[in-house]
């Protein structure tokens, strides 16, 4: 339970225990652990202008405010969702790019909508694929106790296991090599 990436509620862990020290600030290691990233990634994001430590100690150690942890978690989730660091930067800097509230909102909405649409497309692809892979898994589960070893590996398509009523998923055809050609 300890070392896992629980980036959706990482900030809650702050109130808990051992990571709270040095005033309310977080070290690079705290940021990494609580967000499920590596030290390198935290430093890389700082270099890429996506994060900024509130200050550094005399020894050069970075100290971040808790709000930067929330920022880092959002960045991580956006990365998992397929956005490039440039797209993430555009999103996070949108508010600053305008001089009044309504303009800032319009710019942010524009960038946000573009990325939401892209995420929806990727999400749809993932869901379709996940369904197919789960179908494939169910079919292959029967093959774990293969009843027609004589057909393996090239004639599996003739096996009754592969005669599914809703037609074989494209994924299984590729995985098991049971196309027509």
For DNA, the binding residues (CB under 7 A) are: 21-22, 27-30, 32, 38-41, 43-45, 48, 57-62, 79, 84-86
Closest to DNA by CB, 24 vs 147, is 24
* Cα dihedral across residues 19, 23, 29, 31: positive or negative: positive
According to CB under 8 A, which one of 73, 90, 162, 168 is a site residue for a copy of itself? 73
| β-pair type (62-63, 55-56) | antiparallel
Closest separation between CB of residue 166 and a copy of itself, Å? Answer: 16
Q: What is the DSSP letter of 59?
A: T
Question: Which partner, DNA, a copy of itself, none, binds residue 86 by CB below 5 to 8 Å per kind?
Answer: DNA
Closest CA to 136 of 80, 82, 177, 101: 177
Can you list the pairs that 163-170 forms with residues at least 24 positions away whose Cβ atoms lie under 8 Å? 164/139, 168/139, 169/132, 169/135, 169/136, 170/132
Q: Determine if 78 is a binding residue for a copy of itself (CB under 8 A).
A: yes
Closest to DNA by CB, 103 vs 121, is 121
SS3 annotation, 137-179: HHHHHHHCCCCCHHHCCCCHHHCHHHCCCCCCCHHHHHHHCCC
Residues that bind a copy of itself (CB under 8 A): 7-8, 11, 24, 65-67, 70-71, 73-74, 77-78, 80-82, 91-92, 94-96, 100-102, 104-106, 108-109, 112-113, 115-116, 119-120, 122-123, 125-130, 133-134, 136-137, 140-141, 143-146, 148-149, 151-153, 156, 170-171, 173-177, 179, 181
């Amino acid at each position: 339970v300890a070392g896992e990436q629980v980036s959706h509620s990482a900030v809650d862990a702050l109130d808990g225990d051992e990571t709270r020290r040095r005033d309310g600030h977080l070290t690079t290691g705290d940021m990494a652990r609580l967000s499920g990233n590596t030290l390198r990634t935290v430093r890389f994001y700082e270099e890429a202008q996506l994060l900024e430590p509130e200050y550094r100690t005399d020894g050069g150690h970075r100290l971040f405010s808790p709000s930067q942890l929330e920022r880092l978690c959002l960045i991580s989730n956006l990365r998992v969702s397929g956005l490039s660091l440039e797209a993430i930067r555009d999103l996070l800097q949108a508010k600053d790019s305008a001089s009044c509230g309504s303009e800032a909102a319009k710019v942010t909405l524009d960038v946000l909508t573009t990325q939401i649409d892209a995420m929806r497309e990727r999400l749809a692809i993932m869901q379709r694929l996940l369904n197919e892979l789960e179908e494939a898994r169910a079919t292959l589960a029967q093959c774990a106790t293969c009843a027609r070893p004589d057909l393996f590996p090239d004639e599996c398509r003739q096996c009754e296991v592969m005669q599914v009523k809703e037609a074989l998923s494209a994924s299984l055809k590729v995985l098991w090599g049971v196309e027509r050609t």
